[in-house]
Amino acid sequence: MGNVGLKIEAVSNSGPLIHLAQIGMFHLLDIFPVIYLFVTRALVDIAIDEIRNIEKRNQ
């Protein structure tokens, strides 16, 4: 945890632009798992649909 504190101090001293970029990165990291979940669910749904189509053709 000590390293994190040092990083935050360094960022706040290096100007508002970099600080904003850092905050943006943290927000991206918060949102990423949600995007990942949606993408994987969509891919799974597509895969299931494809399997059903193949099964219908084979019957």
Looking at per-residue pLDDT, the higher value among 42 and 14 belongs to 42
**Band of pLDDT at residue 11, cut at 50, 70 and 90:** low
**In whole angstroms, what is the distance from residue 22 CA to residue 19 CA?**
5
Provide the 10 A C-beta neighbour count for residue 5.
Answer: 9
pLDDT, mean of residues 41-51:
93
18, 11 Cβ separation under 8 angstroms? yes
Residues with Cβ within 8 Å of 18's Cβ and at least 6 positions away in sequence, in order, are: 11
**pTM for this prediction:** 0.45
pLDDT at 26 (0 to 100):
65
Distance, CA of 46 to CA of 34 (rounded, Å): 18
Count of beta carbons in the 10 Å neighbourhood of residue 11: 15
